[in-house]
């Protein structure tokens, strides 16, 4: 018998299993690799196999949002951080690991845990009852993926996600750009001046930019991705550019209905239309992040930064996320999950990891921790209090579960743009101010969170609490 089933033995699933087991709950961890099934990207049946990079990125918890998340995970006795330290290899200020050593350590820790049963089995449908965490990642097996689609109605499966870059608002030059909606159209949700930041281009600037899109170095498809189609409404911008020199000017870079107040004449006192325009749309409720509308791309990261900083007003742009292109399975979480990562209409099921729309090893693991803590509180009959939005975990969790705009929701790494802003702090000191505030708030939150003793194996034992 088990208290909760976890489907998926990747980073999020393994972390969730550890957190729940450490709190005395009996966990059935179902992993299809090793049962005769395999994903196109994995090489082994090891738990928490790192498919892409071997890096957990920056370990700097003073000036980096990812490093701050490392800090918070360590405070919560993260298995990923534990195994990462044992498998660590030199990588400067980053945390990189030996993949095989890391996976082996995670697997050993879980297989030896008295409250974890690792079962090699493929789950083809969402369970109709019983506490469950689904952490199957971006390569969810087809049958289970169809079951999720049937339950959510949100088709996010078996297509390439061509992801648009996201820019930090305070890095945009508003002496060049202006805010306006096309034709000054408004809705009840509109900002006072308009809903888009507009970056104007002359004909010469546009032609140079168009050529840059054609010439820029692009990502190659992996063999197993070759036949996967694009979303019709999510065509990479360089694919559109290749269809003709003016294609973009009739698509995402259409300038009509936008009066540039920096380019006025007696004939056009409100401003003239530019030859082309790059529009940015608010991406989070705080207004600190803005996405480049229609700029989903498969350009390599270096090529993106170089080319996109030629756009007027974005010369000093800082990117919260660069564009990308990959096959991905993820939910439109702000629509289908509640604030506790539960599936609306089937609240016995929680989702965790990349399938919730977080990007990156660290972020996936952190959401696995959060899902486990929520489930533990629910199983124990305790109230759940989320970590403050000023923390790395709290900011990412809030973004995934409702703060992001559902219409433009795409996988996201943790970054300071998700945090409540500190406008009163000078820009040079702002990163340290974010981490200092976060650590204090996280420590206070930990003091208020109760924890089931690690060896509590029965319901009666679970009733006994001790501070985290």
Please, what are the domains in the chain? 4-155+329-467 (3.50.50.60), 162-327 (2.40.30.260)
> Please, are residues 101 and 94 in contact by the beta-carbon 8 Å criterion?
no
Residue 299, CA distances (Å) to 205, 295, 305, 324 in order: 19, 10, 10, 7
| Average pLDDT in the chain | 87
Instruction: State how far the Cα of 188 lies from the Cα of 184, in Å rounded to an integer.
Output: 13
Higher pLDDT, 64 or 96: 64
pLDDT band with cut points at 50, 70 and 90 for residue 35: confident
* Alpha-carbon 240 to chain mean position: 26
pTM for the full predicted model: 0.70
Q: Is the pLDDT of residue 154 over 60?
A: no
Q: Report pLDDT digits (tens) over 215-250.
A: 999 876 555 445 554 544 457 888 889 999 999 999
pLDDT score for 359: 83
Structure token digits, residue 292: 């480049």
Percentage of residues in the chain with pLDDT exceeding 70? 88
């Amino acid at each position: 018998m088990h208290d909760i089933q976890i489907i998926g033995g990747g980073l999020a699933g393994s972390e969730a299993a550890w957190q729940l087991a450490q709190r005395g709950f009996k966990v059935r961890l179902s992993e299809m690799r090793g049962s005769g099934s395999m994903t196109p990207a994995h090489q082994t049946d090891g738990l928490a196999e790192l498919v892409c990079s071997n890096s957990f990125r920056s370990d700097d918890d003073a000036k980096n949002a990812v490093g701050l998340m490392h800090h918070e995970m360590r405070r919560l006795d993260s298995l990923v951080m534990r195994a990462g330290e044992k498998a660590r290899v030199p990588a400067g200020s980053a945390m990189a690991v030996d993949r095989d050593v890391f996976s082996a350590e995670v697997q050993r820790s879980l297989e030896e845990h008295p409250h974890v049963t690792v079962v090699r089995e493929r789950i083809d449908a969402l369970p109709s009852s019983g506490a469950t965490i689904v952490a199957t990642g971006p390569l969810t097996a087809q049958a289970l993926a169809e079951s999720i689609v049937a339950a959510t109605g949100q088709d996010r499966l078996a297509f390439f996600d061509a992801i648009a870059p996201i820019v930090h608002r305070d890095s945009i030059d508003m002496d060049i750009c202006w805010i306006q909606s096309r034709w000054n159209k408004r809705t009840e949700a509109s900002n006072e001046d308009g809903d888009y930041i507009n970056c104007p281009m002359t004909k010469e600037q546009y032609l140079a930019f168009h050529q840059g899109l054609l010439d820029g170095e692009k990502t190659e498809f992996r063999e197993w991705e070759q036949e996967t189609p694009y979303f019709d409404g999510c065509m990479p911008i360089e694919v559109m550019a290749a269809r003709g020199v003016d294609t973009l000017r009739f698509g995402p870079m259409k300038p009509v209905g936008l009066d540039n107040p920096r380019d006025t004449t007696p004939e056009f006192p409100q401003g003239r239309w530019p030859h082309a325009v790059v529009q940015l749309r608010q991406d989070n409720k705080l207004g600190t992040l803005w996405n480049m509308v229609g700029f989903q791309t498969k350009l390599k990261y270096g090529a993106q930064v170089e080319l996109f900083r030629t756009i007027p007003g974005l010369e000093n742009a800082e990117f919260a996320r660069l564009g990308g292109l990959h096959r991905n399975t993820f939910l439109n979480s702000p629509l289908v999950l509640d604030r506790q990562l539960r599936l609306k209409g089937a609240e016995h099921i929680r989702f965790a990891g990349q399938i919730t729309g977080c990007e990156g090893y660290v972020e996936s693991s952190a959401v696995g921790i959060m899902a486990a803590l929520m489930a533990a509180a629910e199983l124990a009959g305790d109230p759940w209090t989320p970590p403050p939005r000023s923390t790395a975990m709290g900011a990412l969790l809030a973004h995934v579960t409702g703060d992001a705009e559902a219409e433009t929701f795409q996988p996201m790494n943790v970054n300071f743009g998700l945090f409540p802003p500190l406008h009163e702090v000078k820009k040079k000191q702002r990163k340290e101010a974010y981490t200092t505030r976060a650590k204090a708030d996280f420590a206070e939150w930990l003091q208020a969170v109760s924890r089931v003793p690690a060896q509590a194996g029965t319901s009666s034992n679970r009733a006994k609490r001790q501070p985290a």
